[in-house]
Structure 1
Amino acid sequence: MTASEAVLIYQDNLDVVSRALMDCDLPLMMRHIAVPNMMSTKDTEIVMSSPEELDIVMSDFRNQLLARGVETYERTCIEAAFVAGRDDMIAGRHKTATTGEDGVAVAEYLNHMVLMRIDGQWKGIWLQAIMDNTELQILSPDIAAAQAEARRMLNTLRR
């Protein structure tokens, strides 16, 4: 496996998931995103443990994009490579750009992502957007708050 193959696989995943997000096509998205799945921003993280949670998070994110006038949502691979010693895992970086009627709808931002080949299909298992969730609410605030409270309670119980 070569670095150029990793870039092609990574970009294909970006393209398919971006299209599925904007089309509200959960079945297509589920073929390219693993569940459970972890997503994070600088200030928030969530684990989506079911297709229903994935659907909620992606619907909330799509609604955020549409509310800001996003007409095109494009993600472009910057770099990707197979993880050392693993031909079933790719780590990479990409940028996300949007446009609307008046030009740029949301400022471009960077992301990190890990893909894993599961049952012969490349799926995203982890994504980190390099921005605060409060800037765009990539992650559903209600789910993020509930999971943060659950972690807080667990930490309290351990003491």
Structure 2
Amino acid sequence: MSEAKRIYQANLDAVSAAVVAGDFTKIRQHIAIPNMMSTTDSEIVMASVEEFDIVMMDFRSELLARGMVDYRRTCLEAHFVAGQSDMVAGRHRTEVILRNGATLPPYENHSVIMRIDDRWMGIWLQAIMDNTELQLLSPDIAAAQAEARRMLDRTGHRTA
């Protein structure tokens, strides 16, 4: 296994175990804030610990409501970003195992992790699925941020 893939998988394993355990402090040890997450139909920027915790609690509640007993993410590929020994980009598959032994439909993700203060931290994640399929992103926060972007687009003050 390449060094990039080992680093990426270790981050996936740590965050997955913390999600199952509901240990939001442990999750924050492996995911940087601010953090950007997106699905094919939504995106969210978590700019504070409070916002991050809300998003993670909402996501875990969604998984538990569906019967989650395990949350597994497997690295499919990972590489150091060209010229950046402190940044790894990769792709992984997520599986949610339910109480009855079934699984939710697996989905793929793209993610970037970065070494920050000697720890590998997730800085960006894109789930290749609609947020309506599995609420990865808090609908209320995502909707409020989308509305703010729409307002900026209408007034012409958006710079991106």
Please give the TM-score of this superposition, normalised by the length of structure 1. Answer: 0.95
Query: What is the rounded CA distance, in whole Å, between the counterparts of 1:84 and 1:104 in structure 2?
Result: 40
Consecutive unaligned residues of structure 1, counting only runs of 5 or more, are none
Deviates more, 1:21-30 or 1:108-117: 21-30
Partner in structure 2 of residue 77 of structure 1 = 75
> Which residue is 1:32 aligned to?
30
- Aligned partners of 2:148, 2:17: CA distance in 1, in Å? 33
Q: Give the match for residue 66 of structure 2.
A: 68
**Which protein is richer in helix relative to its size?**
1
Q: Give me the whole-angstrom Cα distance separating, in 2, the residues matched to 1:97 and 1:155.
A: 37
1:155, distance to aligned residue in structure 2 (A): 1.0
Tell me which of 128, 131, 147 is aligned to 2:129: 131
Equivalence for 1:45:
43
Amino acid at match of 1:16: A
Structure 1 residues 4-13 or 98-107, which shifts more? Answer: 98-107
- Unpaired runs of 5+ residues, structure 2, are none
Measured against aligned partners, the alpha-carbon deviations of 1:18-37 in whole angstroms (never above 9, x if no partner) come to 11112121211111100000
1:93 aligns with 2:91: yes
- Structure 1 position 9 matched with structure 2 position 7: yes
Distance between the aligned counterparts of 2:110 and 2:71, measured in 1? 17
Corresponding letter in the other structure for 1:124:
G
Aligned counterpart, 2:54: 56
The alignment partner of 2:2 has SS state of helix
Of the three residues 139, 155, 158, the one matched with 2:156 is 158
Query: Number of matched residues?
Result: 157
Q: Could you state the TM-score of these two structures normalised by the residue count of structure 2?
A: 0.95
SS at match of 1:19: helix
Would you say the 8 A contact 1:68–1:105 is kept in 2?
A: no
Percent identical: 63
Deviation at 1:56, TM superposition (A): 0.4
**Could you tell me which amino acid in structure 2 is paired with residue 11 of structure 1?**
Q
Q: Distance in 1 between matches of 2:149 and 2:56?
A: 22
Are 1:89 and 1:115, in contact at CA under 8 Å, matched by a contact in 2? yes
* Counterpart AA for 1:55: D
- The alignment partner of 2:41 has SS state of coil
4+ aligned runs moved over 4 Å, structure 1: none
RMSD (CA atoms): 1.1
Residues 129-159 of structure 1: CA distance to partner in whole angstroms, max 9, x if unpaired?
A: 0000000111000000000000011111117
